[in-house]
Amino acid sequence: MSNRTFIGAILFSIVIGCAAVAEESSSMPPDSIGRIVDSLFIRASSGEIRFQSEVEPSRKALIALSVKAVPRLLTKLGSRDAREMLELTEIFKGIGEAAVDSLVTVLKSDDGFTRRLAIRCLGEIKSEKAIWSLQAMAQHRDFRTRVETMTAFGNIGSPTAAAAVQAGLRDSIELVATAAAAACGKIKKDIDPNALLAVFTHPYYGVRYAAARSLSLMGESVIVPVEAFIDSCADLNAKCFALLSLGINGSEKSVRVLGRYAASESWQIRAAAADALGKINASKAEAILKKMVVNEKHPLVMARAKASLTNLD
Amino acid sequence: MLICGMKKIILIWIMAATAAMAQDTTENALSRLDKGLADALAGLYMTPADLSLRDDYLEKDGFRMAIVDRYLKSPLEMIGFASNLSDSAIEQLMFQLFRESPFPAAIKPRPFVMTPPESTVADYCDISGIDYGTLYRLAYFIQKETRLRENLAPLEEKGPALDSIIFGLTILLEEDVNDEFRGIDELDSIQRYEEDWTKKLVDLLGLVDAEAPAVACLEFLGFADDSILNPDSSPIYSGGYLEFSTPYGKICVGDTASQFYFGDLFMVIDYGGDDTYQIQREGGRKSVYILDYGGDDTYDFERSRISPFALGMNIVADFSGDDIYSGGSWCLGAGLLGGGILWDKNGDDRYFGDTFTMGAGCLGFGILRDDGGNDTYQAALFSQGFGFVAGAGALHDRDGNDRYFAGGKYKDILRYSDHYLSLSQGFGYGIRPYLSGGAGFLVDDGGNDVYESDIFAQGCSYWWSLGVLSDKTGHDKYLSYQYAQGCATHMTLGCLYDGSGNDLYFGKGLMQGCGHDRSFAALLDAEGDDNYVAYDLSQGAGSANGNGLLADLEGNDAYVVKDTKNTQGYGNERRDYGSIGIMIDLGGRDSYAGGQGADSTWWSKAAWGIGIDR
């Protein structure tokens, strides 16, 4: 029996035993489940290389305990340890909807670490019913809470949060705007492309990149407004991001627009066009890129065109 | 006389011109770097402003150093700062860091006015046989110590809290070689214990004027201009051996014979001979002042778990000879709630220590300055230019072919079964997520040097800190394994600057300009034919929204990597956006093996990374 299997077997017996004992809870000390959760959690969140084989089975055992483990796990949400925080997210994700009501109660916590980790867990669970509780967090005075909320909205992916994430794009803190821009691309429905185009001149690159990615995920409906934006915008970097947003997989229409910019006088515009073409799995994109490789003089544009061709292959 | 004067003027003129040329060269190099960086960023559709980081990704604690916040917001300025370190007076930099302290001391030291030396010394011994120079030196340090104690007297009512702070910091800084044999539950229990102590420290530091000891010691930073510590010529002593006691400890005056000094030494003035020092001070609130004017000396500091020099000052000034300095922790230019200065002016010296040593500071400052000779520095952890909470540490070696080693004792059990923690050689460190870290500087002005470490070192930092290694000239070797050579992990800053020489940079990963988790790190090599070898996530790499830069400005260089995908201008995606990785080589015929780079071209395979070779 391998070490890993052995540990797994022990942990499994603990879970089975625990489940059996839980039915006769009257004979158990009230904190016994807590002790089991504690012991498993120490192993699940251990970062030491020596104990790696204990991590996965311990996590699985905690997930198998489901709601029985939740009260004790909630007390750990205030952890400041990065590994513990990551592990709690994984465990709650595994437990799923059964943990949502309990996690929602924690959102009122005054402790920022607890509150933010609860939001992250709700996002990972992808619980639609948590959205109503999370709406209030989108206005929280702590910007880090707003960042987590926008990310959670994106992970849940429900159009119910569309208005909240579009409002988040206008947040004065760039990290909130970045998370909101990324969430838009995961929600898609009821998102106004113009709201994303408006942040292409944002001073922070994270916002610009996330907005471009989101637009490209929204499909061909964004092509017309993006083209209009490129024609009207004087900011070179913003134009490049607009071009990147046309990297819409499978879109021949995008290829046609990008083709016009593949011969631009600006090497940055050509580089952005090459980048975007590499994301469109269409034969015409490949043809344009091959032509760029032959004719291009700027080493970066050439490199990007080659990388895009490799990507298409 | 006139010719002598003319010679002096010409010499000054030449020195000024040389300094100005050096300044121009640095500025030219940095302006070329700016141009290269602007091009690279344009290729990522960015501007230099995009490299700016926030100072509040988490709620700010009260211990953040202003220099850390400043360079997080303007990270490229850190490179200019690192390139000028070797020409600057480190002690003035230290002074500046404390002047910008986030929690300035409420206690303001009174100015020092020397009173007649005779009466000071006469309180403790018969002064009839002591020459005036010696009397003056003795009185100088007795009076300074008296004043230091007076300045710290208001803190005494918080004595128990201070003792707890010293103990708590000891808990956080000490490692145990037995950890690798402990079980998972025991290690977890130790971790909880340390975390509890960290929380307690945060509370305690809010109750006590914890910066006061460092501020009270700041005046010693003027040591380079101090006529006692830096006289025009070595004094001559005609008396014999002298020993007497004071409330501060034992005072010894030695002639030119070889002496054996031991015990509770407060002050030693030794005028020559190959001497042996066994310094045994216990508890805290102790100071030591040693002036040794000649001979090949051996200094042995007692291994103490708790720093005897906390809430005090320790100074060793050795004027010549090939010396050996040996100690455990908290010594050899270390300041924990106070100050430490070790100044060796000449000779091929050897330094041996364990933890928090050789230019280390926490709520205080520590400076190890060695002005010449081929020196060897060997320590285990938190050393050789190390800054911990609200502290700064610097090791400044001004000349000679030197060898620096940090590690080899405490295993990095988190990541490896066969590698050791270093956290040294220009390293800043804080306690995540409770206490911002300090600033650590390792500065070497000349010679062909070897820097050897394992995990975390060589212009590196962890958690809201700053770590810089700045080597001005010489053919140097930088050897490490991980998190090194211009690396920063978790909202922090790291920089390795090498001015000239044909250098070798060797290591595994997260190095050679690698920023991880909203950090910025850079490796800048200004001149020479250099070799860079790494396995992965190195040579201009950004990870988890961190930014990394490798810039080589001149020379025929060679770059070798093992992993093509995440090196030489690479940034990965995290939190739905990217990390920035930039590699720039601005001159020479360069060779590349294993990676994306090539001579005289641009490359960019990752959305967030770019490389330029000109």
The pair of three-digit structure tokens given for residue B449, joined into one six-digit string = 């040097």
Closest-CA distance of chain A to residue B498, Å: 28
Q: How many Cβ atoms are within 10 Å of B449's Cβ, its own excluded?
A: 25
Dist. CA B291–CA B315, nearest whole Å? 8
- pLDDT surpassing 90 at residue B484: yes
The pair of three-digit structure tokens given for residue B180, joined into one six-digit string = 């690798």
- The mean-pLDDT minimum among B24-38, B259-273, B552-566 falls in B24-38
The mean pLDDT value of chain B amounts to 93
Q: Tell me: the pLDDT tens digits for B429-471?
A: 999 999 999 999 999 999 999 999 999 999 999 999 999 999 9
Average pLDDT over residues B65-88: 94
Residues 35-94 of A with CB under 8 A from B: 39, 42-43, 46-51, 54, 80-82
Closest chain A CA to residue B597: A303
Helix (H) or strand (E) holding B487: strand B487-489
Helix (H) or strand (E) holding B144: helix B132-152
Average pLDDT over residues B115-137: 94
A209 and chain B in contact, CB less than 8 A: yes
A300 and chain B in contact, CB less than 8 A: yes
Contact between B547 and B581 (Cβ < 8 Å): yes
- pLDDT surpassing 50 at residue B1: no
Pick among A300, A306, A309, A311 to test the B interface (most B CBs inside 10 A): A300
Question: Which pLDDT band holds residue B23 (cuts at 50, 70, 90)?
Answer: low
The reply to whether residue B187 touches residue A48, judged by beta carbons under 8 angstroms, is yes
Question: In 3D, which of B588, B589, B585 has the Cα closest to residue B603?
Answer: B585
- pLDDT surpassing 60 at residue B22: no
- pLDDT surpassing 90 at residue B359: yes
The reply to whether residue A268 touches residue B45, judged by beta carbons under 8 angstroms, is yes
What is the structure's pLDDT at A25? 42
The pair of three-digit structure tokens given for residue A142, joined into one six-digit string = 């702590």
Q: How many Cβ atoms are within 10 Å of B176's Cβ, its own excluded?
A: 10
- pLDDT surpassing 90 at residue B189: yes
What is the structure's pLDDT at A20? 42
Contacts of B604 in chain A (CB under 8 A): 300, 303-304, 307
- The mean-pLDDT minimum among A192-196, B211-215, B325-329 falls in B211-215
Question: In 3D, which of B438, B465, B224 has the Cα closest to residue B334?
Answer: B438
What is the structure's pLDDT at B402? 98
What is the structure's pLDDT at B605? 80
What is the structure's pLDDT at B578? 92
- pLDDT surpassing 60 at residue B8: no
What is the structure's pLDDT at B28? 75
Question: Which pLDDT band holds residue B106 (cuts at 50, 70, 90)?
Answer: confident
Dist. CA B291–CA B269, nearest whole Å? 5
Dist. CA B258–CA B276, nearest whole Å? 8
B398 and chain A in contact, CB less than 8 A: no
Tokens 């032509």 belong to residue: A291
What is the structure's pLDDT at B103? 67
Average pLDDT over residues B55-76: 96
- pLDDT surpassing 80 at residue B283: no
Q: How far is CA B70 from CA B4, B509, B512, in A?
A: 47, 27, 22
Q: Tell me: the pLDDT tens digits for B581-614?
A: 999 999 999 999 999 999 999 999 878 999 999 9
B185 and chain A in contact, CB less than 8 A: yes
What is the structure's pLDDT at A8? 45
From A42, A210, A237, residue closest to B577, measured CB to CB: A210
The reply to whether residue A48 touches residue B44, judged by beta carbons under 8 angstroms, is no
Q: Tell me: the pLDDT tens digits for B524-555?
A: 999 999 999 999 999 999 999 999 999 999 99
Residues of chain A with pLDDT under 70: 1-31
Dist. CA B171–CA B160, nearest whole Å? 16
What is the structure's pLDDT at A22? 44
What is the structure's pLDDT at B237? 93
Q: How far is CA A41 from CA A33, A45, B320, in A?
A: 12, 6, 58
Closest-CA distance of chain A to residue B249, Å: 44
The reply to whether residue B605 touches residue A144, judged by beta carbons under 8 angstroms, is no
Collapse the DSSP code of A162 into the 3-class scheme (helix H, G, I; strand E, B; otherwise coil) and give the result. helix
Angular region, B245: left φ>0, alpha ψ -120 to 50, beta rest: beta
What is the structure's pLDDT at B17? 52
- CA–centroid distance for A19 within its chain: 34
Closest-CA distance of chain A to residue B43, Å: 6
* DSSP assigned state of A265: S
